[in-house]
Structure 1
Amino acid sequence: MTEQHREIDVLLDEQRTFEPSADFVAAAHVGDRGPYDEAGRDREAYWEAWARRLDWFTPWDTVLEWDPPFSKWFVGGTLNAAYNCLDRHLQARGSKTALIWEGEPGDVRRYTYRELHEEVCRFANALKGLGVGKGDRVAIYLPMVPEAAVAMLACARIGAPHSVVFGGFSPQSLRDRIEDAHATCVITADGGYRRGGIIPLKASTDAAIEGLDYVNSVVVVRRSAVTDPRAAPHGDAVDTPSCDMTAGRDHWYHDLIAAADADFPAEPMDSEDLLYILYTSGTTGKPKGVMHTTGGYMTHVTATAKWVFDLREDDIYWCTADVGWVTGHSYIVYGPLSNGATVVMYEGSPDWPDRGRFWELCERYAVTVFYTAPTAIRAFMRWGDDWPAGYDLSALRLLGTVGEPINPEAWVWYDRHIGGGRCPIVDTWWQTETGGIMITPLPGAITTKPGTATVPFPGIEAAILDEEGNPAESGYLAITSPWPGMLRGVWGDEERYRETYWSKWPDIYFPGDGARVDEDGYYWIMGRVDDVLNVAGHRIGTMEVESALVDHGAVAEAAVVGRSDEIKGQAVAAFVSVVEGTETSEALRQELRGHVAAQIGAIARPADLIFAAELPKTRSGKIMRRLLRDVAEGRALGDTTTLADPAVVRSLQQQFADSEA
């Protein structure tokens, strides 16, 4: 047994000593597994009990209508997501801090629940004044600033579905999402800070909406007006405009807020009314607009935020995700705020101005619950133990991971160097489409193992199935019954919804991940089984990258695969053949990598780009991506007998080896 394995075995024993959530214990029954058995006996009644923890304007008639693959939860009930995140806390928690925000330059803002409620109401009135009404789609393209949460909640208050676009996406990616949702309003910023530089978001927005006449208003948050970051710790702004403004269309956020009323009654929304659209990569080039509605989604994220993170009244909770991803929606905004938590938001990079920034924030704000990605943890490991050791992390009592499976070595490091051996670790599996956490330990109630997300959350029914849909110890992860936070479809494309998620087995949701189950019934997620890469927790479709490459005039054909990466989990490897007469060079290689970044965003930039006279194809002309994965991973080649020219792949193998050297 290796020293690493001995340490893991010791940790298994230690995890049994943690106290379960008080809320979980209160719900448990003597002699059984509490909520797990309760949910198993009557799953609908179990979720109905969680729904009752929310404030509803009118009660529901039916808990679930299930017409596979379409579900409706809490049918006939009306509520409002923003009301449940803000208004219902005003009497008991009005003066409690709802949001602590720090920008990368060091500027800080705090909002109590009453102050956040007022800001959201003002912005809802401002949006209403710009013509935004119930059902209108609003695109949000902001850095990690408080206005991002305010914008989401203001849209929810109006009943206008929001579509948040990650600030790292390119103008073309932003345009694609605005066009698909037909958003009539865009909320952006003049810029956002990243590693000491400013990302020009307004300029990207202008490029994205050029010629889109239906975009009739753009709201701009002034962010890059902090001229000297360390000299202006409170975000003191300058008067000179920091970006171009189009008269009649563009409006400064601060001007709108100053002129708006602080009272805006929340719009009663049907439980199945659309709350937001969030785009995620798929196996085709076009991102899918995943739709989440109000009642079921709020029930799911309220329940999971409460129990998975064991949220307590005095917690300082920090999820390091960006609101541009579903984790930011569910576990920065809607889940924690519906529970009345104090939430930390941070704008910038974890290594600016040095690699201790996250731990400095944990110390300064006495963070108690910390939720981050395995990619970040592996980077922290690489930077060395001294960085976290230099800060007081004693306030931490619970750690979480999200975005991809965490390898046991990173889990152990996280436990030892961040949690000090005293914090339970909740390794969570879920995805944009599920809305909320699906497979996870509950702190103290479930014995954890490094590297596994353990068991489904109470009320979630999962299985491992083979190709034919039979139970298996290793195979495909499947969700076998509907759940409240599930996606309600793909915006504007019902057939894609059916084909992508429900066509593998009858009436069973297929998330696209492989998995295995161990002797304790714990689920081990093995990663994607389709052509979607998980790069630093971000889903990137290989077809998306291939489409961006062949969009360049020098490229005749491209094939993209993933390869293992020590930090990111997966990296993009591209194989490109150029048009006849084009000379390959290092300059062209960098140009193509930059072209992908410009088309999609920096997260999709290929880590490796290999020029090929030809790509390996079968005799029928199909590109053999399986062999390209072998090349990228440095593995021995599999069966090449079906190739039209086996020498092609051997040549690529040599080129890849040379590039690595």
Structure 2
Amino acid sequence: MSAGAVPTDTGYVWHPGAELVQASNIKAFLDDLGVADYEALLARADADPAWFWAAVLRRLQFYRPYEQLVDESRGKPFARWCVGGTTNLVLNCIDRHRGTPTWQREALVWEGEGGNIVRWTYADLAAEVSRLAGGLASLGLQQGDVVGLFLPNIPQAVAAFLACAKIGLVALPLFSGFGVAALRDRLAAARAVALVTADASTRRGTVAPMKAVADEALQSLPALRHVVVVRHLGIELAWQPGRDHAYDELVAGRSDELPTLELPADAPLMLMYTSGTTGKPKGTVHTHIGFAAKMLLDLGIVMDLKASDRLLWMSDMGWLVGPMVAVGVPLAGATLVLAAGSPDYPDRGRMWRLIEQFEVSFLGLAPTTARSFIGSGGGDIERHDLSSLRICASTGEVWTPEAWHWTFDKVCRRQVPILNYSGGTEVGGGILCGTVLHPIKPCTLSRALPGMGAAVVDDQGRDVPRGVVGELVLRHPSIGLTRSLWHDDERYLDSYWSAMPGLWRHGDWAVIDADGYWSILGRSDDTLKIAGKRTGPSEIEALLAATGHVVESAVVGLPDAVKGQAVCCVVTLMPGTTLSADVRAALSKAVVDGLGTPFRPKFIVAVAELPKTRNMKIMRRVVRAACLGEDAGDLSSLVNPEAVAALRLELEQAGHRP
């Protein structure tokens, strides 16, 4: 990577107050362990991961204590956790609150696109989970069976996830916008035997059928025996007697207090397919104790989620954030604010209105969401009272400085910390995170999460000095890591463990600055090599955004006979801006001024939207394939596949297709 990839804005813009620090969950954790500070915790956890994870696990409940914390007899990649112990995610998320004041507090508040609101207490959530678990059991589903969850962002999606856990079924969350092929392929790969879905969802006021999509997908899946249907919108449906079951009828009259099944602590909880940034999506495997411990650490301890918080993190159950909040919020005894649809529909400032209306104190958002609000003029953010916020968390993409500062100024009012969070589906959460103990630097991540041995190394697996870019790796198996890939150990080893023996290679470029702050600089497989100099797309994209003309961009490298690769930029422009000769020249000049003449873009094209995954990551491999006129491969994870055809057309009209 070139030196320009290292962030140049190293000033602190936010400092934690003494009261916040003293009241924080991480400070209480440090005090309980008798550790002086976060740096000392990292050092001891890195030297003795078993000591650290045992301390985290003391905050969770077991039916039977584990006999061995971690078993690495098959090697680091296949570590087993809490051997001999038994537990259940539902024991920790719901049952532990029974008989406490939390039981009658709100667990969930939901708003639909039409403005209808549903409120569930913890007692309500427990009853719904028990009734649905009983209904699923009545269909003959047994421990270890895989159940697809193809649902919009509605309360029943949370209930279904927890109901599967309660009786030992393995949940398979699926993006609510999937088409037939994507849905069929994942259900087939997972060997699912049942599906919970809805009649339809609404997207920006338009009805989007879901059961009809499922019906078509299931034509070639005879092993999937049962479909449970939530009549969310009440539309007319085709019905297959014996296979299809109405959700309301299935749960009617069942016990509100079904016993939670005692399971081996490391029993599979969830299959979560990656977004497929390279190749076909991979089925990651997360367990009851692994996912609970990781969410307790990440959200509860490090990110300071408290029982008094009301959390809004608009997502879909088909992206890891959906299960994260469905588990992390009840673990903390907090309140989850759910909203179906988009952050800017039906009102353009819906996200800001939700914060004000429901007194949200913990907000999660992606940089892409911030950029979209910038592009639309802010969504009337100044009209809304956001004073309830105390934490803002972000994940999903690398920040551009302009989007970060806009969020800090407009959303956080320069008072609320942005806790940047980076990890992945395969990790079951984060590797790096901001904390309320550390001052904030724009676009950075304060520290590594403990117990994972996160490091930045060269291609030989050797630590690089601070300020030098390298590969992000883990030196220790983490309790949250996928246990393998579903029925594919060989691909698991090839994907994460084979490149640097003994190290988990995450696939990101990273750098640590002189003060110990981390920056993620993009995927290592997105690297550009221009005239012998390596760089990541994020630093070029930041230069484009800094001109004020660009909302967001995808920068890719294309073959060049002289330089090896040439820079090519696909951009979306600010409202009212066109790609005139002057704007094109300004964008090109910004890249040259920032990185040098060899990085002058070969071409710049403007599109209405960039191809993105369901978790709003820009798919640069798809952009590159379009620029080369090649097959883009698996597009099933795209939220906007129409953007690919539009990009190809724009390239052709501009004369840039090969």
Query: Common fold, TM-score beyond 0.5?
Result: yes
Counterpart-to-counterpart distance in 2, 1:523 and 1:10? 14
- Check the 8 A contact 2:25/2:302 in 1, yes or no: no
Alpha-carbon separation, structure 1, partners of 2:220 and 2:515? 58
Equivalent residue in structure 1 for 2:478, among 477, 480, 483? 483
**Distance in 1, Cα, partners of 2:628 & 2:9:** 46
Q: Does the CA-based 8 Å contact 2:201-2:210 persist in structure 1?
A: yes
Does residue 1:402 correspond to 2:410, yes or no? no
Structure 1 equivalent of residue 4 of structure 2: none
1:140–1:164: 8 Å Cα contact kept in structure 2? Answer: yes
Which residue type is aligned with residue 467 of structure 1? D
- 1:558: which partner in 2? none
Partner amino acid, structure 2, of 1:513: D
- Equivalence for 1:87: 95
Q: Does 1:216 align with 2:221?
A: no
What aligned pairs does 1:262-341 form with structure 2 within 5 A after superposition? 262-282=256-276, 285-330=279-324, 332-341=325-334
- Structure 2 unmatched runs, 5+: 1-6, 528-535, 539-567, 574-608, 611-616
Post-superposition offset of 1:245: 1.4
Quickly say closer, same or farther: Cα 1:653–1:466, change in 2 above 3 A: farther
User: Structure 1: how far apart are the matches of 2:328 and 2:266?
Assistant: 18
Q: How far apart, in 2, do the equivalents of 1:534 and 1:115 lie?
A: 47
Deviation at 1:43, TM superposition (A): 2.2
Shift of 1:243: 1.5
Q: CA deviation at 1:170?
A: 1.0
Counterparts of 2:277 and 2:335 in 1: how far apart (Å)? 38
Could you say if the C-alpha distance between residues 8 and 466 of structure 1 is closer, same or farther in structure 2, counting changes exceeding 3 Å?
Answer: closer
Instruction: Describe the shift of the 1:262–1:654 C-alpha distance in structure 2 as closer, same or farther (beyond 3 A).
Output: closer
Tell me the amino acid that sits aligned with residue 242 of structure 1: E
5+ long unaligned stretches in structure 1: 1-5, 226-240, 536-560, 580-591, 613-630, 633-651
> Residues 142 and 148 of structure 1 are in contact (CA less than 8 Å); yes or no, is this contact kept in structure 2?
yes
- Superposed, 1:541-552 pairs within 5 Å as none
The answer as to whether partners of 1:81 and 1:156 remain within 8 angstroms in 2 is yes
After TM superposition, the structure 1 = structure 2 runs for residues 51-450 of structure 1, keeping only pairs within 5 Å, are 51-66=57-72, 67-92=75-100, 93-225=102-234, 242-282=236-276, 285-330=279-324, 332-385=325-378, 387-443=380-436, 445-450=437-442
Distance 1:353 1:281, change over 3 A: closer
Q: Rate the CA distance shift 1:422–1:17 in 2: closer, same or farther, 3 A.
A: farther
Pair 1:263–1:655, CA change in 2 (3 A): same
In structure 2, C-alpha distance between the alignment counterparts of 1:534 and 1:278, rounded to whole Å: 27
Instruction: Look up the SS of the partner of 2:108 in the other structure.
Output: strand
1:468 and 2:460 equivalent?
A: yes
* Contact 1:186 1:217 survives alignment (8 Å): yes
Name the residue aligned to 2:20.
Answer: 19
Offset of 1:52 from its aligned partner?
1.4
Q: Is the 8 A contact 1:577 1:611 kept in 2?
A: no
- 2: distance between equivalents of 1:54 and 1:576? 50
- Measured against aligned partners, the alpha-carbon deviations of 1:529-582 in whole angstroms (never above 9, x if no partner) come to 2269999xxxxxxxxxxxxxxxxxxxxxxxxx9956678663542438999xxx
**Paired residue for 1:234?**
none
1:327, distance to aligned residue in structure 2 (A): 1.2
Amino acid at match of 2:339: Y
1:22: how far off? 2.6
Distance in structure 2 (CA, Å) of the matches to 1:133 and 1:60: 24
Contact residue 100 and residue 342 of structure 1 kept, 8 A? yes
Residue 623 of structure 1: aligned partner: none
Shift of 1:95: 0.2
Q: CA deviation at 1:484?
A: 0.9
Map of 1:504 onto structure 2: 499
Q: How far is the alpha carbon of 1:460 from its aligned partner?
A: 2.7
Q: Shift of the alpha carbon at 1:279? A: 0.9
Deviation at 1:242, TM superposition (A): 2.5
Measure the CA separation in 2 of the matches of 1:564 and 1:368.
Answer: 34
Aligned to 2:224, what secondary structure does the other structure show? coil
Alpha-carbon deviations, 1:135-164, whole Å to 9, x = none? 100011000001111110000001010111
The aligned amino acid for 1:215 is L
Give the distance between the partners of 1:512 and 1:32, measured in 2 at CA: 30
Equivalent position SS for 2:98: helix
| Kept in 1: contact 2:14–2:414 (CA 8 A) | no
Superposed displacement of residue 68, structure 1: 2.4
Deviation at 1:308, TM superposition (A): 3.3
How high is the sequence identity, in percent, across the aligned residues?
34
CA contact (8 A) 2:64 2:87 kept: yes
> 2:230·2:247 contact (CA, 8 Å) conserved in 1?
yes
One-letter code of the match for 1:191? Answer: A
Q: CA deviation at 1:31?
A: 4.8
User: In structure 2, how many angstroms separate the alpha carbons of the residues matched to 1:78 and 1:156?
Assistant: 13
Shift of 1:510: 0.7
**Structure 2 matches for 1:532-611, cutoff 5 A?**
570=618, 572-573=622-623, 574-575=625-626, 601-607=638-644
Counterpart residue identity of residue 222, structure 1? R
Q: Per-residue CA shift, 1:339-392, capped at 9, x if unaligned? A: 111111111111212211111111110000101111001111222246111111
Alignment length (residue pairs) = 562
Letter matched to residue 27 of structure 2: V
* TM-score, structure 2 as length reference: 0.80
- Give the equivalent residue in structure 1 for 2:54: 48
Q: Deviations over 1:491-519 (max 9, x none)?
A: 01110000000011011001111112211
Give CA-to-partner distance per residue, 1:54-76, whole Å, 9 cap, x none.
Answer: 11000001111222221111111
| Distance across 2 between alignment mates of 1:490 and 1:534 | 29
Whether contact under 8 Å (2:14, 2:440) holds in the other structure is no
Distance 2:11 2:277 in 1: 41
Partners of 1:83 and 1:13 in 2: CA distance: 38
- Residues 106 and 119 in structure 2, CA contact (< 8 A), matched pair in contact too: yes
